[in-house]
Amino acid sequence: MCGIVGYVGNQGNCVRVLIDGLKRLEYRGYDSAGIAYFNDGKVNLVKESGKLENLSNVIDVEKKSNLGIGHTRWATHGKADKCNAHPHKIGKFTIVHNGIIENYNVLKNKLIEKGYNFSSETDTEVICALLDYLYKTDKDILKCIRKLNEILDGSYALGIMCDDNPDELYAVKKNSPLIIGINDGENYIASDVPAILDKTKKHIVLEDKDYAKITKDTVNVYHDGKEKRVDVKSFEFDASSIDKQGYDHFMLKEIHEQPDVFKKTTNPYLSEDLDGLIEKMPDFSKYSKIRIIACGSATHAGLIGKQMIERYANVETLVDTASEFRYNKQFLNDDELVIVVSQSGETADTLEALKIAKKNGNDTLGIINEKGSSIAREAKIVLYTEAGKEIAVATTKAYSAQVAMLSLIALNISYSKNLVNKKEIAEILKDAKSLPTHMEELLQNEEVYKEIANQIKEYNDVFFIGRSLDYALAMEGSLKLKEISYTHSEAYAAGELKHGTISLIEEGTPVVAIVTDDNVASKTISNIKEVKSRGANVIYITNRNDEEDQTFYDSKIMVPKVNDLFSPLLTVIPLQMIAYELAKLKGCNIDKPKNLAKSVTVE
Ligand code: M6R
């Protein structure tokens, strides 16, 4: 989603720093970009629609400047054109903004009455006018920013420049992340770590409604009119994660990282026995119910988690989509554990759902990839997945790390309740050990995935079917395909087909049928036969050696048979790879699909 970078220093290289920073935020998804910088005491504003390249082409990076702000915009209010691109300037204030101002219309009308004119459709321009208006009556910028916090509803991370103070950069945030990067003789603001990672590791994380005045040598953070003591932290970040390292796309690189991610995520808990699961994790066996809340692929990981927890730990587990949960009537039991799952730790709906659960008094657990993110800070307990930085918008390695962590939680409860016996434990540990090798084997089948992608590329609709665990996987496979190859697809519970969807099956319609879950395998195979007999081209993904009947599918991808707890981590690889190969064949922008953002910080 939108990205912010800001700089104040003394080297005169502000323009270059801003453009470099924005490049590093490109992966978040955006549709226009712009920068504002002081040059000879005057604000210069340059913005362009489309890719950052369009902006770089019209900017002189050698232009001398010591202070500026930059932005990549993912359109919310008003179309993705140059006029709506950030920064916006009204009166003395130039601003970049991530988030959504919910009361901007009311404010806009009031400001029009006061004589302000607006040229864009954005909510951000309203903030510029409001700040300018407040500043006219009180020349203390910090007081004015504090007032903004009282007036604005919604979410915002703001980088602010004032015409009167060309040496001072201002920042404020609520429900949208913003950090301040610290260095000798120069300081930064950024909405996301990569923007400034090559410049400094030292940073301050702003809390909601914190605001700051930043000069090249000083950073002062305030909350509610009082200066605040802040911790300066250091990023732990592997710079190789923002390099493709020879792969054509970040997505492919990240798919190939899954064996390693599995080891990193599970090794601390799975050693010679399962003791690590109860020593290094809290005991989750005291809860009578578990609720998993997330968005997108993280919800799909949650659906697998539900199957695992219910099967292995015998605890009822509900899964909610955060954007629905937050506005539904809620029935949270007091002894219910609420698990929020998020790669970025910044997804607005998931964060809000977490706050609701906390307010209700529930224990909350965050399964998070981004260390120190908003959700990680808000949750009572945090278990970090060790996927490393994920750059491709379509999640792959972070999704599988979430699935792995949920399996560990199922096992934690099961072990602590004595529901697994010694033999099962030995088998589970053996499978965990062999999993990375099996993943590697599946990653070798590139030609097979290419061939399937070739078969389905002429079709406008693809169906993914499965039951139970396999249905949850079907949803993830279908989302991946839609997201990056722009091919319409539906995931269906195989047993539901004949209640409507089967009418769409025609000669050649691609149906990806997943059968790995023994509990329901024979039932799903009957459903596959139903689509096959209506002309479907069945791509069968399975871990079964059912050689005796080869009549119900057209192509078969074998995945190694392992314990249910880890099996989805294998099955998902062909699904990810088919989506990847199809997107490649269709010439799509695989790492940055259109209209999408990596981190969805607005609801
Ligand atoms: O950062 P999060 O895990 O909270 O993100 C949730 C979804 O936005 C995310 O999984 C999205 O569905 C992916 N782009 C799918 O590949």
With a CB cutoff of 8 Å and minimum separation 6, the contacts of 62 are 15, 16
pLDDT of residue 238: 67
List, for residues 217-256, the tens digit of each pLDDT value: 999 999 999 999 999 988 776 666 778 889 999 999 999 9
List, for residues 257-268, the tens digit of each pLDDT value: 999 999 999 999
- Residue 3's nearest CA partner among 99, 98, 76, 87 is 98
pLDDT of residue 159: 98
Domains of the chain and CATH, by start: 2-238 (3.60.20.10), 244-440 (3.40.50.10490), 445-589 (3.40.50.10490)
Q: Is the CB of 344 under 6 A from ligand 1?
A: yes
Question: Residue whose CA is closest, atom 14 of ligand 1?
Answer: 394
- Residue 382's nearest CA partner among 354, 360, 407, 403 is 354
Coil, helix or strand at residue 366: strand
- Structure tokens belonging to residue 127: 């903030």
Q: Is the CB of 385 under 6 A from ligand 1?
A: no
Is residue 130 scored above 90 in pLDDT? Answer: yes
- Structure tokens belonging to residue 286: 């005291």
Coil, helix or strand at residue 38: strand
What is the rounded distance in angstroms from the CA atom of residue 596 to the CA atom of residue 482?
Answer: 11
The H or E element that residue 276 is part of is: helix 275-279
What is the rounded distance in angstroms from the CA atom of residue 479 to the CA atom of residue 539?
Answer: 17
In the reported structure, the alpha carbon of residue 294 is separated from the centroid of ligand 1 by a whole-number distance in angstroms of 9
Which residue in 2, 144, 295, 588 is the catalytic one?
2
What is the rounded distance in angstroms from the CA atom of residue 230 to the CA atom of residue 207?
Answer: 10
Token pair 């087909």 is at which residue?
497
Q: Which residue has the higher pLDDT, 172 or 271?
A: 172
The pLDDT-based confidence of 514 (bands split at 50, 70, 90) is very high
pLDDT of residue 239: 64
Q: Is the CB of 599 under 6 A from ligand 1?
A: yes
Mean pLDDT for the chain overall: 94
With a CB cutoff of 8 Å and minimum separation 6, the contacts of 549 are none
List, for residues 455-489, the tens digit of each pLDDT value: 999 999 999 999 999 999 999 999 999 999 999 99
pLDDT of residue 80: 84
Is residue 573 scored above 80 in pLDDT? Answer: yes
Annotation says 2 is catalytic: yes
Range from 26-30, 42-46, 151-155, 446-450 carrying the lowest mean pLDDT: 26-30
Q: Is the CB of 296 under 6 A from ligand 1?
A: yes
In the chain, % of residues over pLDDT 90: 83
pLDDT of residue 182: 96
pLDDT of residue 237: 66
List, for residues 317-336, the tens digit of each pLDDT value: 999 999 999 999 989 998 99
Best residue among 480, 600, 602 to mutate for probing ligand 1's pocket (most ligand atoms within 8 Å of CB) is: 600
Sign of CA dihedral 375, 376, 379, 384: positive
- Residue 419's nearest CA partner among 526, 310, 519 is 310
- Structure tokens belonging to residue 182: 């610290």
What is the rounded distance in angstroms from the CA atom of residue 425 to the CA atom of residue 412?
Answer: 12
pLDDT of residue 243: 80
In the reported structure, the alpha carbon of residue 220 is separated from the centroid of ligand 1 by a whole-number distance in angstroms of 34
Q: Is the CB of 298 under 6 A from ligand 1?
A: yes
